[in-house]
Structure 1
Amino acid sequence: MRTNLSSQISLNHVSPRYYKPENAVERSVLTRLEKIPTDIFETIEEGVRRIADEVAAKIQERQREGKFCTLAIGTGTSLRPLFTELVRRHKDEGLSFRNVVVFNLYEFYPLTEGNGSTFGQLNSLFLSQTDIDRQNVFTIDGSIPQNAISEHCRLYEQRIQTFGGIDIVLMGIGREGNIGMNEPGSHASSPTRLILLDATSRSEAARNWGVDNLPPCSITMGVQTILSARKIYLLTWGEDKADIIQKAVEENVNDTLPASFLQLHNNVNVCIDLAAASHLTRIQRPWLVTSCEWNDKLIRSAIVWLCTLLNKPILKLTNKDYNENGLSELLALYGSAYNVNIKVFNDLQHTITGWPGGKPNADDTYRPERAKPFPKRVVVFSPHPDDDVISMGGTLRRLVQQGHEVHVAYETSGNIAVGDEEVTRFMHFINGFNQLFDNGQNETICNKYAEIKQFLAAKKEGDMDTRDILTIKGLIRRGEARTACTFNNIPLSRCHFLDLPFYETGKIEKNPISEADVEIVLNLLREVKPHQIYVAGDLADPHGTHRVCTDAVFAAIDEEKNAGAEWLKDCRIWMYRGAWAEWEIENIEMAVPLSPEELRAKRNSILKHQSQMESAPFLGNDERLFWQRSEDRNRGTATLYDHLGLASYEAMEAFVEYKPI
């Protein structure tokens, strides 16, 4: 059973010529805007093997010299595949780490019982599975008194020097461009020190370590300490780091982006996969650095970029515009700006449809969806109980209004995203109901009310909820989802709560996807046999749940495909995105316009999820509420189409088709 199919989605075919140059001259041309040597790999596995080769070679070189090999290692998610490969080489190929000295790159502060320790993660994922001499493993102490921190940091730096300095630093990059735990504003001369973590770093760390009650600070190797290493590898994988990688590699050195200080080092390598490289110029806008292998998506991307750069609609672009902005190749291919303009204009025009389920009795040659069969059976998969209306509430409502049989499948309970005050409010209601209509005679309700009230009164930050409280929180979200479905005229019989097991840990950290999760999805698909499936395409989802849910759906579809299921042959799968980001316009294959009234109805659908308004635990650093983020995103898509010279709409929801791999 393939449970990682989302990682194989490639929306844009990238020519290997852009990331695997054949010689040094070609590489210098492609990378002329890059200020740090950057290696791009097709897969994480390929990248990890390359780095493991080089680390192993350095360790063995030092062994032959009879010397220690000193590593400074972080513990972010980007390093975990490398740990797995190094451990495999130790167990299967006899790679010895006896001469390796390890310094932990950072540790949370203050550490108390129940806090997440980065050294604990490093030990579990790597150290304990190799033959590293424990006397050669050094970590920052996150439990020392505050007045001892300065001396502790000085001695840590001194210890590094006693081993001759650091041979190799292995680290990832944070969403704010952090290296180690050096926050924006850190100086190039900063040593090992205590630093206050900002909200973004704490949120990312909580996701990476699966710890709900992270300490507010970290003791981290400073930028100067990292730059003093003889070799630095910065690893990261996946599209969620694409933007920050582009800034670190291509923009100027700036203390608001600590990773940019790596430009000052003479032996550093950024190692990334194609997804993480997607915003680098040679991948995203290759026409600015080399001749291109043009395809429809790259042409669309180039023309949209040119329109944005010049603030012109598509049909007003001229030959001069193309020639002055690196796109003269397109003039040679198509003869004139007019020919390219018409091609791209029609291409984008054909993505727009007011009939997301297909228009019956109409020519569907240039429509995103086919006219038949009509009506269609539709399943909308919603990772949390509000993603359906946040992400595609307008399309959902239109599918119902246009006569299709719409089912909504809520994949997880969403119970950890409900505040305790919501539980208190509902318990007050239940207890009051009992008092009014049963004279308080129901002892079970009275006892449970007292028990939950007592637990919540004594609950400390980081304490896990009891199973009863999690059940109540899940019921609150179910009720809100049912209310939203009723508002959108979806019968409750078509409202499915899957409660996938991977989610039910009661903590931020979830279990890996399992066959049990896939089987639940599979049973629903076999029951409905849909003609359309809508699924979350938030592959850079900051909480990870969306991606796991999508993998469960894709795995179920894959099983049906392998089994030769007839229904799947007449089914199309559309991916939407949520409150966090929108599809790039070159990838949009269906854009559903919304009128002002439809956008208002979508907002009202989202507002049915009252527990997810101001007090929701996972609103993040963005101060906008979910309905505000959603509206801004949908209006932004419509504005982009408008500025390109297409029809002007109030808002648009966008989709990309997924073709089973």
Structure 2
Amino acid sequence: NIHTPDGSISQDEVIEHCHAYEQLIAAEGGIDIALLGIGRMGNIATNEPGSTLSSTSRIILIDQTSRDEMTNSFGTQEQVPPCSITMGIHTLLSAHKLFITAWGEEKSDIVEKIVEGPITDAVPASFIQTHNDAKFFIDLSAASKLTRIVHPWLVTNCEWNDKTIRAAVVWLCQLKQKPILKLTNKDYNENGLSELLARYGSAYNCNIKIFNDLQHTITGWPGGKPNADDTNRPERALPAVKRVIVFSPHPDDDVISMGGTLRRLVQQNHDVHVAYETSGNIAVGDEEVTRFMHFVNGYNQLFCNNEDQVIKKMYADIKAFLAQKKPSDMDTPEVRTIKGLIRRGEARTACTYNGVPLDHVHFLDLPFYESGKIEKLPMGEKDVEIVRALLQKVKPHQIYVAGDLADPHGTHRKCTDAVLAAIDLEKEAGAEWLNDCRIWMYRGAWAEWEIENIEMCVPMSPEELRGKRNCILKHSSQMESAPFLGNDERLFWQRAEDRNHATAELYHSLGLACYEAMEAFVRYIP
């Protein structure tokens, strides 16, 4: 009862084979249910942009974006075929029911185009809008750009709370191109926000409330300001010196995501620890290994009279392995270890630049990451216990974790799950240190927190932003040669700066202080 197009036939037979496949579908009474995922370009099955509404089963060329997406499934891009046999748009839409799935923030833009955008062959999945019985099954991250999530007051009766009110006022400011305190009753009435006028009595009252809420998120004291009234501050004043753990999924996420804040915490004399949760060895190019092995071999020749036989043998073995390595080959344990050492060295250099003592730099090397492949192992008890042991040792007053779950390979999510699971176990065990600990979530190079969710925003001067950039640049293996820069051609320091500039500009456009850049955080409550 399984009928799949035969991808092994010769190209001369494809047209006849596809015609026979369509006839088989018809002979079986058509498709009752089609269960489909969607690609980042809006492709369904492998119907790439340009596929027409009338298209049926056929051979199609796979574009570069789809090839990149398939890399996870195939293990390497070199094994992704250039072409695919696929059902057509017409074939799929003839199904009685359609079920479409999408997960994660990386699919949010295309979900918004498919569900709410114009119907066009540039986004083949947009034709689903014409189907009489199609349902999307998506998580909140994939739905995050839909109007019903971003601007629910435009499509339904809205349940007003602090977050939705802040989101509505910011949206109105952007629509009218006005700062918060210049919005009028007329602005609210003409744009469907009269409920807020009824709630607060006037635009003035609502404006002041939201302006103050946003003003109170801004702080130059991410660890709390000693001897100050902390009633309206994101962080408490006491203890004046806090023990802090910054959890970084990869050995550079700390400086990319919160480098300015980390540096500020150190300068304000807090006891800062940085915990790198994975080795990050998958993201090191082979040329970096070659460069470091040349150095080690040269060191052996110059300072050891070329007598260290272990180094000589390893150099020869690794040189031979890399010379014959195919794109689909997994690195040897020795090569992975060297790649991990490269990233450790870069992380230590960055921490030293930021003033973090080296005995406060922890490399957790969580087991789930060490599969040797892009596809990781499931996060398990061993990962959680490693994190928990560090928490028990440090007993932090502040924890910073990655909230940027758009990481294309899922490492951020698994690392954050491990930290939160460890915290839950400590809470169940009645750990006293948790009673005086706050958990802050940062985002990385892929996205920023929506302004309605931001609870702490740390400003940076031009000099501080330059310091953050210098720190990111310490991770030299992650510059142009990094294998996983993704679809965004900007380097990590450029992405981070653009994101931090944009946050500062948004605050300024709303009538708040004008800063060079800002890093944003959301508090997590276990």
Question: Could you tell me the TM-score, scaled by structure 1's length?
Answer: 0.78
Task: Please list, as runs of the form range in 1=range in 2, the aligned pairs for 1:64-103 lying within 5 A after superposition.
Answer: none
Q: Following the alignment from structure 1 to structure 2, what is the Cα–Cα distance between the partners of residues 636 and 289?
A: 28
Q: Is residue 483 from structure 1 mapped to residue 369 from structure 2 by the alignment?
A: no
What does residue 202 of structure 1 align with?
67
- Report what 2:369 is aligned to: 503
> Alignment partner for residue 520 of structure 1, among 380, 386, 397?
386
Q: Does 1:355 align with 2:226?
A: no
Matched, 1:469 2:339: no
- 1:147 and 2:12 equivalent? yes
Give 1:424-573 correspondences, 5 Å limit: 424-573=290-439
In 2, distance between residues paired with 1:261 and 1:420?
43
Give the equivalent residue in structure 1 for 2:3.
138
* Identity over aligned pairs, percent: 74
Query: Can you list the C-alpha shifts for 1:113-140, whole angstroms capped at 9, x where unaligned?
Result: xxxxxxxxxxxxxxxxxxxxxxx11112
Of residues 32, 43, 46, the one that matches 1:178 is 43
Q: Deviations over 1:84-104 (max 9, x none)?
A: xxxxxxxxxxxxxxxxxxxxx
Distance 2:461 2:155 in 1: 41
Judge conservation of contact 1:484–1:606 (CA < 8 Å) in 2: yes
- Distance of aligned partners of 1:434 and 1:275 in 2 relative to their CA distance in 1, 3 Å threshold: closer
Find the aligned partners of 1:653 and 1:283 in 2 and give their Cα distance: 24
Distance (whole Å) between structure 2 residues aligned to residue 290 and residue 267 of structure 1: 22
Q: Does residue 648 of structure 1 match 2:514?
A: yes
Matched, 1:591 2:457: yes
Task: Name which of 443, 446, 450 aligns with 1:580.
Answer: 446
- Pairing of 1:129-528 with structure 2 (within 5 A): 136-207=1-72, 213-528=79-394
User: Shift in Å at residue 261 of structure 1?
Assistant: 0.5
Find out whether 1:611 has 2:477 as its counterpart: yes
Instruction: Confirm or deny: 8 A CA contact 1:211 1:509 kept in the other structure.
Output: no
Letter in 1 for 2:117: E
Structure 2 match to 1:601: 467
Contact 2:74 2:80 in 1 (8 A): no
Counterpart residue identity of residue 449, structure 1: Y
User: Is the CA contact 1:187–1:255 (under 8 Å) kept in the aligned structure 2?
Assistant: yes
3-state SS of paired residue (1:183): coil
CA separation of 1:273 and 1:605: change in aligned 2, threshold 3 A: closer
Aligned-residue offset at 1:414: 0.4
Distance 1:428 1:577 in 2: 37
Q: State the superposition RMSD in angstroms.
A: 1.4
**C-alpha separation in 2, matches of 1:208 and 1:457:** 25
Change (3 A) 1:217 1:373: farther
CA distance in 2, matches of 1:384, 1:459: 25
In structure 2, what is the Cα distance between the partners aligned to 1:439 and 1:192?
A: 67
Cα distance change, pair 433–275 in 1 and its aligned pair in 2 (3 A):
closer
Secondary structure of the structure 2 residue equivalent to 1:656: strand
Q: What secondary structure sits across from 1:178 in the alignment?
A: coil
SS of residue paired to 2:392:
helix
| TM-score, with length taken from structure 2 | 0.97
Give how far 1:210 is off.
Answer: 5.3
The alpha-carbon distance between structure 1 residues 361 and 568, as it changes in their structure 2 partners (threshold 3 A), is: same
Contact 2:457 2:521 (C-alpha < 8 Å) held by counterparts? yes
Q: Give per-residue Cα distances to partners, 1:143-165, cap 9 Å, x unaligned.
A: 33333333332222222122122
1:146 and 1:618 map into 2 onto residues whose CA distance is: 33
Q: Structure 1, unaligned stretches of length 5 or more?
A: 1-135
Matched to 1:581, the amino acid is A
Deviation of the 1:450 alpha carbon: 0.9
Report the alpha carbon displacement of residue 273 of structure 1 after superposing the two structures with TM: 4.0
Measure the CA separation in 1 of the matches of 2:66 and 2:439. 35
CA contact (8 A) 2:223 2:242 kept: yes
For 1:578-636, what per-residue CA distance to the aligned partner results, in whole angstroms no more than 9, with x for missing partners? 00000000000000000000000000000000000001000011110000000000000
**Mapped partners of 2:492, 2:104: distance in 1:** 24
Q: Please state how far the C-alpha of 1:238 moved relative to its aligned partner.
A: 4.1
Q: Is the 8 A contact 2:375 2:409 kept in 1?
A: no
The one-letter code matched in structure 2 to 1:173 is I
Deviation string, structure 1 residues 411-446 (Cα, Å, up to 9, x no partner): 000001000000000011111111111121111111
- How far apart are the structure 2 equivalents of 1:505 and 1:471? 13
Q: Secondary structure at the match of 1:496?
A: strand
Quick one: distance in 2 between partners of 1:561 and 1:198?
A: 49
CA deviation after TM superposition for structure 1 residue 275, in Å: 4.1
Q: How many residues align?
A: 525
CA contact (8 A) 1:199 1:621 kept: no
Q: How far apart, in 1, do the equivalents of 2:177 and 2:322 lie?
A: 56
5+ unaligned residues in a row in structure 2: which ranges?
Answer: none
What's the CA shift string for 1:356-397, capped at 9, x where partnerless?
A: 000011111000000101210000000000000000000000
Q: Which structure 2 residues correspond to residues 31-50 of structure 1 after superposition, within 5 A?
A: none
